[in-house]
Amino acid sequence: MSLIKKRDLISTSNLIGCDECDTISKKTPLQKGEKALCPCCGGELYQQTKSLKKLLALVCTAFIVFIIANCYPIVSVELQGNHSETSLIGAVIAMFQIDRFFVGTLIFITTFIMPLINILLLFYILYPVSLRKKRPKFLVQAMRLLSSFRIWAMIEVFLIGVLVTLVKLVGMVVVIPGIALWAFAVLSILMIMITSVKLQSIWDEIDRCLI
């Protein structure tokens, strides 16, 4: 039985598969801001990722804005001297009170639970790697959960729905945007910036930092 020498093994660390068509391509070094595209379908393979410290700073900022968005009123409404205001949790509770359990649960999961899980998972992954140069104990499991949950964070969809509703109410009542509305707008931008970074790019940056 012949022995296979280590140098004869084909390295797969510099190969990457396309998420769209499964074409295998060889990685090449990228300059800042560049993206690698699949030669078969044109889908994005990977990109030159922000440093993990910068990504961690975005995640921490998103967490602070997330707290503000959920602690303050989204909008205040005045009608014939009556004043009312509501927060995200208040909107969910209102859905439950009028027997719209499915809508209330969907809002709660997609605009509160999932964004919070995404932020916490990214913090768990990025903090020890970027600041302590240490691999998290459950890194693989955390990345898998992040891959499954990140598509369910739909803050921007909720924000668009709120804006459409406010436009319809402007002619009937006095509408005063609350702090949380602006916080949700900022949070939507931050989450788009964070989720634009592909998980494969995060993996590559983790490998580079822990060498």
Residues 131-149 pLDDT 10s: 878 888 888 898 898 888 8
Neighbour count for residue 161 (Cβ, 10 Å):
13
Least confident of 75-84, 103-112, 116-125, 153-162: 75-84
Q: CA-to-CA distance for 24 and 188, rounded, in angstroms?
A: 33
3-state helix, strand, coil in the chain (%, to 5): 60, 15, 30
Residues 100, 37: contact at Cβ < 8 Å? no
Which pLDDT does position 119 carry in this prediction?
A: 93
Domain ranges of the chain: 52-73+86-209
Residues 49, 59: contact at Cβ < 8 Å? no
> At 45, which helix (H) or strand (E)?
strand 44-47
10 pLDDT more than 50: no
Neighbour count for residue 58 (Cβ, 10 Å):
19
Q: Residue 144: CB partners within 8 Å, gap ≥ 6? A: none
> At 77, which helix (H) or strand (E)?
strand 75-79
**Which sign does the torsion angle of CA 113, 116, 120, 123 carry?**
positive
111 pLDDT more than 60: yes
Identify the residue whose tokens are 């600041």.
131
Residues 12-53 pLDDT 10s: 556 666 766 767 767 676 666 666 777 788 776 666 566 788
Neighbour count for residue 182 (Cβ, 10 Å):
15
Burial class (CB in 10 A: 0-12, 13-18, 19+), 120: middle
Average pLDDT for the chain: 78
Which pLDDT does position 60 carry in this prediction?
A: 95
Residues 161-198 pLDDT 10s: 777 777 776 667 677 778 888 898 899 899 888 888 87
Report how far Cα 68 is from the mean position of its chain's Cα atoms.
Answer: 17
